[in-house]
Amino acid sequence: MRVARRYLITGRVQAVGFRYFALETAEREGLHGWVRNLPDRTVEALAEGDADALDRFERALRHGPPGARVDHVEVEDRMPAGRDTGFFVT
């Protein structure tokens, strides 16, 4: 089943390679969407794909790359767009 979720990640998540960690994880899981830094020092991601793959992606986001400290991950379900766009960093 295809689902989409928006993630807002807080903590020490900028200047630690978090976006590229998310990119590699999403590509490995076959997800589509994007990840970006926000001005308030949080990271936002929107991912779409198989529900199990999104669960694995979320677990990875909650851990983050070495050097990161994830304090909180807010998750919001979205309507899947159904487009296969790949995953990219904005």
* Catalytic option among 6, 36, 37, 56: 37
CB 48 within 8 A of CB 76: no
Would you call 6 a catalytic residue per the annotation?
no
* Catalytic option among 19, 41, 62, 83: 19
CB 42 within 8 A of CB 13: yes
DSSP annotation of 46 reads E
Q: How far is residue 53's CA from residue 31's CA, in Å, rounded to a whole number?
A: 7
Would you call 37 a catalytic residue per the annotation?
yes
Residues marked active site are found at: 19, 37
